[in-house]
Chain A
Amino acid sequence: MCAVQLEVRNISKTYETGLFSRKARFVLENISFDVQEGRTFGIVGESGTGKTTLGKIIAAIEKPTAGEILFRGNTLAVMKRKEFPTFRRNVQMMFQDPEGSLNPKKTIRKSLDEVLRLIKMPKGTREYAIRDSLLTVGLSREILVRYPNQLSGGQNQRVALARILLLEPEVIILDEPTSALDISVQAQILNLLKDLQLKKALTYIFISHDMDVIRFMCHDIGIIKNSKLLATC
């Protein structure tokens, strides 16, 4: 029985709509589930059902209207200043659009290097870490001098993944990471993700509308429909 790493408790997100009526529209309503360490939890639903919002709330880049997220038993909202950086480093998110995940004005090297600078890695080690991360995701060093718009979708997603892996997180939330990619590239990336999960004992939260992909990747699934969580299996 795996340890529970992340708990989602009664998460709701509402938006106010209407010019005069201020009616609340539920994007997410009372969502609760557990994510176990080392496994992949899939979040399925049709496009536009708030899956991305849920992902962002779990990654703490968006605040829920109600509810809480617990990481290793600690509630996010009340985490002290000292504890939050640990969470921040350990829970990462990867996005769908390969074009948008990287700053178009930065070279790949800069995008990778700045993350290492953030964690205050000394210069010598940084170079090694960058090369190592590229190897892990199957990219050659020549892409370091390029800009995102000079790379293919698959390459961009690999760079985004490499960037995240530099922080050595425990949990990665993947928001439709392969829907914008070609079939064979999708196969490559999915297999890469699976590989990495085994090698690095990663926990994934995998968001998708594609049932085939979900079936291939996930151990546990939650289905979202009409802003409510229907089932978990």
Chain B
Amino acid sequence: MKNKTTLNRLGLVLVALFVLVAVFADIITPHSPWKRFEPYEKPSKDHWLGTNDIGNDILSELIYGTRASLIVGLGAAAIATLLGLLIGLASGYFKGPVDEWLMGITDIFLMIPRIPLIIILAAFLKSSFWIIMLALGFLWWTSTARIVRSRTLQVREMDFVASSKCLGFKNRYILLSDILPNIFPVVVPKFMLTVATAMISEASLSFLGLGDPSMKSWGLMINFAFIKGGLINEMWWWYLSPGVCIILFVFSIVLLGFSFEEHREIVIR
């Protein structure tokens, strides 16, 4: 039992740390990440993680990258979860034709291959950071919708919902007050996991060269590290550090997500 809470607290602390770094990036960075110094420098007192191919301090890049990655991750996850929540609730609560239509749309979206779509979008529109975030958000709501729908279907059959209907509460009230609070334990962990997935997707896209070059995200850093000779020259401080950040952040998000799950204790009467 105790180990579990420690892990949860660890998750909370780590996530908080990342968020703080993202928010206070300006103050924390030793140098501006756009300032150019001597390129390809090894780690030194001035540049703890050395410099990249155009002379930017890698550590500063990393810190700013937190901002970019977090925004994309959280933004995409927020859009996806919100959409999924609305659709799942409507579908599960009203059933009937509403359900059939919404689930039909969900099925269509599920069939769309996501990454290829984003690649196409990125190729035709500017590879803006916002486009990526929106695209990821609008493609990912499907699994949340399904989970929310299934839990809504369960909750709506419970007696207290029938009770509320009987007492005369309107549908809107029942959805907000009775059903939603009982769905959170399912939605919040899902949100956390979506953040993690979104971040990794963004990193992958950036790695493939489709990222937004104006925002220094971790994925983009790895991309440059690979194509600009970091790998070949064994500059591990360049290509490993963003990767480690991604792993750490995803790990901490997942830990935090677990702590929101509901534990139903089996009580022996």
Contacts and interface: CB of A to CB of B under 8 A. Distances in A.
Contact between chain A and chain B defined by CB under 8 Å: yes
Contacts of A95: 159, 162-163
Contacts of B167: 92, 115, 118, 163-164, 167
Interface string A74-116: 0000000000010011001101110011111110000000110
A92 B166 CA distance: 6
B174 to A, nearest CB: 10
Interface string B134-173: 0000000000000000000000001110111111110000
Task: Classify the interface of chain B: helix, strand, loop or mixed.
Answer: helix
Nearest to A167: B167
A61 interface: yes
Given A105-B182, A114-B177, A100 B166 contact: no
Contacts, number: 51
Contact of B182 (A88, A96, A103, A118): A103
Contacts of A89: 168
Contacts of B182: 103-105
A221 interface: no
B97 interface: no
How big is the B interface, by class? 10 to 19
B168 A100 contact: no
How big is the A interface, by class? 20 to 34
B99 interface: no
A167 B166 CA distance: 11
A56 interface: yes
28 contacts: A56-B162, A59-B166, A61-B162, A61-B165, A61-B166, A88-B166, A89-B168, A92-B166, A93-B162, A95-B159, A95-B163, A96-B159, A100-B160, A101-B163, A102-B160, A103-B160, A103-B177, A103-B178, A103-B181, A105-B182, A106-B177, A114-B169, A118-B168, A160-B163, A163-B163, A163-B167, A164-B167, A167-B167
Given A88-B166, A97-B159, A100-B159, 20 more contacts: A61-B166, A88-B168, A89-B168, A92-B167, A93-B163, A93-B166, A95-B159, A101-B159, A101-B160, A102-B160, A103-B178, A103-B181, A104-B160, A105-B182, A106-B177, A114-B169, A114-B177, A118-B167, A160-B163, A163-B167
Interface of B: 158-160, 162-169, 177-178, 181-182
